[in-house]
Amino acid sequence: MFGIPGKQAVTMTPAAAEQIMLLMQRDAHQGLRIGIKKGGCAGMEYTMEYVKNIDPHDEVVEQEGARVMIAPMAQMFLFGTEIDYKTSLLESGFVFNNPNVTEACGCGESIKFADT
């Protein structure tokens, strides 16, 4: 894949790991698959879905009991990303701190990478 030996493709903050573990326990999910697809106002957007069966082509990252799978086509875009989970008075959700992003819209869900 696109990794560096001994370094995980993505990391999770304790808050993200805790939330992912809660989601895994609901309906016995194996974890969450994260990916990238075309769309949004900046050109690309993150995707997340529950995983019942791990695809052998996914990059699997496990941290503090939480498991995230990275879809094959998204691996090069997500390498080095920190996944966080934020809660505020108005909303709660996952936040991707991605060093590969060159532009993002105000919602934080739509992103742009160099040469995309």
pLDDT per residue over 60-114, tens digit each? 999 999 999 998 888 888 888 999 999 989 889 998 888 887 766 666 566 656 6
What pLDDT is stored for residue 116 in this prediction?
A: 47
Measured from the Cβ of residue 78, the count of other Cβ atoms closer than 10 Å reads 23
Measure the CA–CA gap between 101 and 79, rounded to whole angstroms: 11
Mean pLDDT of 38-45: 74
96: nearest Cα among 60, 51, 53, 44: 44
What sign has the CA pseudo-torsion 27, 36, 110, 102?
positive
What pLDDT is stored for residue 1 in this prediction?
A: 47
Measure the CA–CA gap between 34 and 89, rounded to whole angstroms: 26
Is residue 10 within 8 A of residue 78, CB to CB? The reply is yes
**The CATH fold of domain 10-113:** Hypothetical Protein Aq_1857; Chain: A; (2.60.300)
Q: What letter does residue 72 receive in the DSSP assignment? A: G
Measure the CA–CA gap between 37 and 58, rounded to whole angstroms: 16
What pLDDT is stored for residue 43 in this prediction?
A: 75
